[in-house]
Structure 1
């Protein structure tokens, strides 16, 4: 039922029971970076549940649906604790996340401590540990991806 929407849209708002949506999208899941944001809304507009992609648009969609009277049921840890996420910081500064695997460690750190955001202007060489998220301004991100693709 959801295959076409899953393949063609960045976000899906489903007015269905959560169980129906879970069963139907389960075989379509790939990863948090390519799967669309999925928000489930009950038919009485009581709740808006970001089921998939909370940091990738579903939380924001749920907040917008809340303007119609629904309660947004946000469960991403950073949202629950009123903390920023790497994905939110990247959006705020117009950046892509270069090393996406780092976001788990950095989002966990954002829950417990202040995490400094540094802006480094180039030309520079930056060496980072695995638990450092590297954000690249969107224009530069396209150039970096193009360069690395050309050097393969």
Structure 2
């Protein structure tokens, strides 16, 4: 049993993400933190813990889903743990990105070519005509250099 899992807080931290996780955004609301600042907090479908958005993650979401947070509702997002430089030290943090599966699924796949009728001959590709046919290279005959010294015959 992991004790860190027994006392999970209200907000996600990097240690909660040993592997990247794809979650669905339920909502984003403004929340007053214990320090008194108002911060955007992202809630996820079926999850207890929430993600406090920092500028980096908020701007990544803006790039992915647009500036209006209501457009983020229902969108899949991948959370992963990494590190960042904070006050001269490398510290753990959470980052967000478009899900890896979504990126692969959204790539354009050409439609399959229609199947040839049963027993029909397959088309034979024809060579495409070219404007100029390549010619073999012809080299001039090799000539011996002129001698600057007498040659005995």
TM-score (structure 1 length as normaliser): 0.25
Q: Which has the higher strand share?
A: 2
- Structure exhibiting the larger radius of gyration computed from Cα positions: 2
- Which gives a bigger RCO, structure 1 or 2 (Cα 8 Å, sep 6+)? 2
TM-score (structure 2 length as normaliser): 0.25
Q: Which has the higher helix share?
A: 1
